[in-house]
Amino acid sequence: MSRWLLLCCLLTLPLQASELARLNFITEEYPPYNYISGQQLKGSSVDILDAILQHNGQQLDRAAVRVLPWARGYDTTLEYPNTVLFSTTRTRTRDGMFEWVGPLAAGRVVLLARKDKDLQLNSLADLKASDYSVVALREDIGAQVLLEGGIPESQLRIAVSNVSAMNMLVMDRVDLWAYGEDVAQWLLKENGHDLAQFESVLLLTEDPLYFAINRDTDAELIQVMQDTLDQLRTEGTLPQID
C-alpha cells in the first residue's frame, strides 16, 4: 500500500467515526432496555449505544436522546434521515423499512393474561375465533403481528402507553396484552403486581432487538456502528442487562 493511500485511510476512518454525532437518537419507555429512572435515561440498550460512541471518541448525551411515544418515534424515524430508533424488534415485515445495527438482545413478544381468567390459546386462529379483547400499542410489534395474522381491529384496544396497557389488563378491562414478555414482567413487578398472577398464553414472535435507522442515512455511519458493536461483542465488553 502506498504512503498516500495509507494516509487517506487513516484520515477517513476517524472522520467517519466522528460524524456519528450527526445521528439523532429516539427511544421509548421499554425497560430494562431503555427507560427513564430518576430523570435519567438508563437501560442496557442505552449503555450499548454509549459504549459504541465512546469507542469512537465520543460521549453519549443522554439528555439529547428523545424519549417519545412508540408510534411517534417509529413514524419520525421512517421520515427523517440520520435518525436512529431503539430498541426495535427486527422482523421480516419491517426489514426493508429501515437499516439495522445489532442485535442488541433477544426478544419474545407474547400475549399475557391474568391467570384467574384461565385462557387457553394454541394459535392466532384460536384468538380470532374467540371474543377475547387484546390491548396493544400502535405500530408496536405486538399490534403488527396481530393485524398481519388476521386478527380483526374490533378485537384490538390501542393504549397510549405500555403502563396504560398494563393497567387495562390488571383491571380486567381487556383479556390479553400483546407486548414484549420481559418488558411486561418488568413493568408489572415495578408497579407492585405479583408476577405469579399473570402468564404468557401465546408466543407471537421471537425476533431480536436492534437499532432501527432511517434508510437514507449515510451507509458509512451505519457500518461504523455495526463494526463497533461487533468488536465490543468479540472483546466481551458489550454491556448486558442489569
Q: What is the pLDDT of residues 190-232, one digit of tens each?
A: 999 999 999 999 999 999 999 999 999 999 999 999 999 999 9
**Res. 45: pLDDT tops 90:** yes
Output the pLDDT for position 17. 54
CA distances for 175 relative to 108, 152, 184, angstroms:
19, 15, 15
Q: Has residue 60 been placed in a domain? A: yes
Question: For the chain, how many structural domains are there in total?
Answer: 2
Rounded to an integer, the average pLDDT of 144-148 is 96
Do 113 and 196 sit in the same domain of this protein? yes
pLDDT of residue 11: 40
39 belongs to a structural domain: yes
**Does residue 77 sit in the same domain as residue 117?**
no
Whether residue 58 is contained in a domain is answered as yes
Interval 165-175 mean pLDDT: 98
DSSP 10-54: HHHHHHHHHGGGG-EEEE--BTTTBEEETTEEESHHHHHHHHHHH
Contacts with 139 (C-beta within 8 Å, 6 or more apart), sequence order: 70, 71, 74, 75
In a domain, 241, yes or no: no
* Mean pLDDT score, 87-99: 95
Q: What is the mean pLDDT of the chain?
A: 92
Q: Are 177 and 166 in contact (CB under 8 A)?
A: yes
Angstrom CA distances, 100 to 63, 111, 146, 190, stand at: 23, 26, 23, 30
Residues in the chain: 242
Domain of 132 in residue numbering reads as 109-205
Sign of CA dihedral 209, 215, 220, 221: negative
Are 126 and 159 contained in the same domain?
A: yes
Residue 242 lies in a domain: no
Instruction: Say what percent of the chain tops pLDDT 70.
Output: 92
Q: What is the CATH number of the domain that holds 176?
A: 3.40.190.10
On whether both 99 and 113 belong to a single domain, the answer is no
In this predicted model, what pLDDT tens digit does every residue of 149-160 receive, in sequence order?
999 999 999 999
Split at pLDDT 50, 70, 90, the class of 144 is very high
Residue in 54, 71, 16 with CA at minimum distance from that of residue 217: 16
Is the domain of 127 the same as that of 73? no
Co-location of 40 and 97 in the same domain? yes
* Same-domain pairing of 16 and 92: yes
The answer as to whether 157 is a domain residue is: yes
Residue 240 within any structural domain of the chain: no
**Whether 19 and 134 share a structural domain:** no
**What was the pLDDT predicted at 148?**
95
Kindly give, in sequence order, each residue whose CB lies less than 8 Å from that of residue 43, ignoring residues fewer than 6 positions away: 30, 31, 32, 33, 34, 35
Predicted confidence at residue 13, as pLDDT, reads 45
Domain membership of residue 35 (yes or no) is: yes
Same domain as 141, residue 127: yes
Indicate whether 139 and 60 sit together in one domain: no
Mean pLDDT value across residues 70-93: 96
Cα(228)–Cα(237) distance, rounded to whole angstroms?
11
Residues 212 and 201 in one domain: no
What is the structure's pLDDT at 6? 38
Query: Does one domain contain both 101 and 129?
Result: no
